[in-house]
Structure 1
């Protein structure tokens, strides 16, 4: 079969939003039209790409395998069109989840740079971001960098995000204005569905080992709203979060900074060295100017970041530009 690019675009939109209705809105289609495109694509490929449920549409194993190739295919199609149209396409930026700090950073960048267009893509973090950068399916990825990268990928640290905890009002620490890490040894940090082998799982494993914390990854993850309901009913459970998380408001849950030391989650920006998108140097300059280095007197970082030597000093902008 020859792949229908419209169907492939629909597949990517649903994978990003995990919802047929939201993907249809993005593509200015009816939900019936986008469903027909996916049905045609699945029939042609001879497999099921999505698992439909009341909570949304998640990728099947085959859908996950197809996604990076679909992104690469659409990227090539867009580049082919741009080569004759002269139009500059939006900068494609990959983030782990739209509630997290990277999305807020991009929002701030767009407020400071009128006229720049950005497409936000959600993925599974560093593992999918690396391959998508190499294939050209995305221009930029934000993730914690661990392990080796392809030689074609450059990166720099952009934001050391202080951790907070979300905690129910029944918890003994709920009235505190700050919480020391040592005070959390009797609590259970809930992280249902925390993905083994992911860069964030490794971060929290290191944090737990250094400060004798308990992390519970059991159970399916039904979304942050459901998790906050569980926290509100508990006297000993907490949820770690970054200070810039856009958490849904809950009357029985409070957000409190963690101190002594402040655990910092290290966000980096990654891009392909040969990428020549005109907005990329502007984004690099913006995040470099806002970088605040690690302070060993107040912060905690995993050993991997300390050994990298990248987090302790500001970076020279010109040497990092593509």
Structure 2
């Protein structure tokens, strides 16, 4: 019996979900395409694998008996693919910076192939390296002009929050609003070395009528936190998930509406590396499973200034 692994994978997904629409979403298929795969598999094996009505989907007795073997087939195929991918060169990925969302995305997605990571901290630098063939995948933020020879796919909307000293007059607020920031203003160190972040924060302040002050050299996030610890008058906005160490003084407080920095993965359209394709697919799956783009449905969550 010549079984199509795509059809077998469709069968296992429906068996796990007992719901055609959810299974189609997990496989990035339309429900019609998924139904066709199941029908062709049933034609190949010669029996019905599911009973379906308006309200429910259930495995038939034959489907229940076939399921463990179907899982074994997929596991064997994955093991074979992993063995091949492990023999390939490392995938070169630029994650932009150490404390930002791309490293979180990669950790959650995992990879069977060795990854070689870099941190160029600039969209222009990483896309240039992609085009020269020095990278296989890069994470980029605000896009002023997407390049025609690269594919882009949004993967994460990184929420922002307020960082404030408890001795500040508003330091005890549990949630900050834009009006609060209009009252206090925002302080930033010099962010010219990271132009995309600089544009994001400055545009957020300007678009919302918030005064901002740029003062001090940017020596890294921990240094900026230390400067704020010394001066309770300073208030800033930063990533709600950025690692600021074991901070025991400053408070990171939710901001509503919540601005978000949009991250996309980018790769060359003509890249046919199967290991890269597998990594991209894993990232897509974890993005969907974690709901990282669903925050847009929350009225308290809005996209921050984004170009392009």
TM-score range, shorter chain: 0.5 to 0.7
Q: Tell me the alpha carbon deviations over residues 1-56 of structure 1, each in whole angstroms, 9 at most, x when there is no partner.
A: xxxxxxxxxxxxxxxxxxxxxxxxxxxxxxxxxxxxxxxxxxxxxxxxxxxxxxxx
Answer yes or no: is 1:165 the counterpart of 2:162.
Answer: yes
Task: After TM superposition, give the deviation of residue 274 of structure 1 in Å.
Answer: 1.6
Aligned to 1:87: 87
C-alpha distance in 2, partners of 1:267/1:219? 27
Aligned to 1:269: 265
Check conservation: 2:142, 2:306, Cα contact below 8 A.
no
Other structure's SS at 1:274 match: coil
C-alpha distance in 1, partners of 2:194/2:219? 20
Check conservation: 1:168, 1:235, Cα contact below 8 A.
yes
Q: 1:147 to 1:242 in 2, by over 3 A?
A: same
Instruction: Return 5+ residue gaps in structure 1 as ranges.
Output: 1-85, 309-322
Task: After TM superposition, give the deviation of residue 296 of structure 1 in Å.
Answer: 7.3
Other structure's SS at 1:120 match: strand
Other structure's SS at 1:205 match: helix
Q: Tell me the alpha carbon deviations over residues 100-131 of structure 1, each in whole angstroms, 9 at most, x when there is no partner.
A: 11111111112xx4x33212101131110111
C-alpha distance in 2, partners of 1:222/1:101? 20
Q: 1:239 to 1:283 in 2, by over 3 A?
A: farther
Matches within 5 A, 1:268-287: 268-287=264-283
CA-atom RMSD, angstroms? 2.3
Aligned to 1:174: 171
Aligned to 1:223: 220
Aligned to 2:5: none
Aligned length: 217
Q: Tell me the alpha carbon deviations over residues 61-87 of structure 1, each in whole angstroms, 9 at most, x when there is no partner.
A: xxxxxxxxxxxxxxxxxxxxxxxxx93
C-alpha distance in 2, partners of 1:299/1:122? 28
Could you state the TM-score of these two structures normalised by the residue count of structure 2? 0.64
Could you state the TM-score of these two structures normalised by the residue count of structure 1? 0.61
Task: After TM superposition, give the deviation of residue 219 of structure 1 in Å.
Answer: 2.3
Aligned to 1:132: 129
Other structure's SS at 1:89 match: coil
Aligned to 2:48: none
C-alpha distance in 2, partners of 1:99/1:230? 18
C-alpha distance in 2, partners of 1:248/1:192? 18
Flag the structure with more relative contact order, 1 or 2, with Cα contacts below 8 A and sequence separation at least 6: 2
Aligned to 1:288: 284
Other structure's SS at 2:259 match: strand
Bigger Rg over Cα: 2
